[in-house]
Structure 1
């Protein structure tokens, strides 16, 4: 049986004490779901695991259901395999090597997002902050970080209301998830 390494990205957990999901309990939950090599990264809902299941949407749906059953609240989950995570890093349109991790972010989407969806946003208004659309990902260059970003604030206000799930990670986490899924979790 061939297994594959994945990262699970839980949206909006452990932020300001809301939707608290202890990482030890998340690891236990993923193990109970039959996944191997489970590890978590930071406290913000990043987990890696291996499984023979080859369906990201099914894996995400099952984890969403399990989190709600265990913790009593709904959490959106995106699951991405190593190849996709690596492609996001490899196709970054910004000079990642010369930037601090807090200056570069990736927003992962549950499905492809077209440029027309962002057309109402006047990107020039937010310079020097910039955005670039990728494959189910949006790259954000935020020189002063996400906490002070007017562009990130505008994007959050114009979040899609049609069921598209989006969750953002800083570049350090983006790169770490590639590393953790490279050969499968230890």
Structure 2
């Protein structure tokens, strides 16, 4: 029995000290906190500064689109538009018309944009609609800017014949 106790004492001297695991934790925890701190710095300062140029170019594209819309479809007062429309189409009803984007009634003092398809919308509503890269009228899906050809993604039939991805062998 004495020999057995001596062998247990010898095994503890061999480096399996129970406090040795605590030393590893004492070293690993500060490194983990430092890594978390570095990640926080990257997320809060480095990434936003890298994407800043991208948002400026998006804003430039947005303002260019709105300028293109203003040049193609002028804004005007609803009462002026309704007067012209009554002259062209006296049988039409121009009272209590709605902007289908916001569903509010168009008033005489409302700034509107009248499209070539004879649909009208609040200026701010159509500007927002067009600014979100919608190229077509929300009602009839004709192009908002007359004569503009919107880019459409190419389909498989546009590219010609393609080989099949999977071939069956019998």
Q: State the TM bucket, normalised to the shorter chain.
A: under 0.3
TM-score by length of 2: 0.19
TM-score by length of 1: 0.18
Larger-Rg structure: 2
Normalized per residue, the structure richer in helix is: 2
Q: Which structure is richer in relative contact order (CA contacts within 8 A, separation 6 or more)?
A: 1
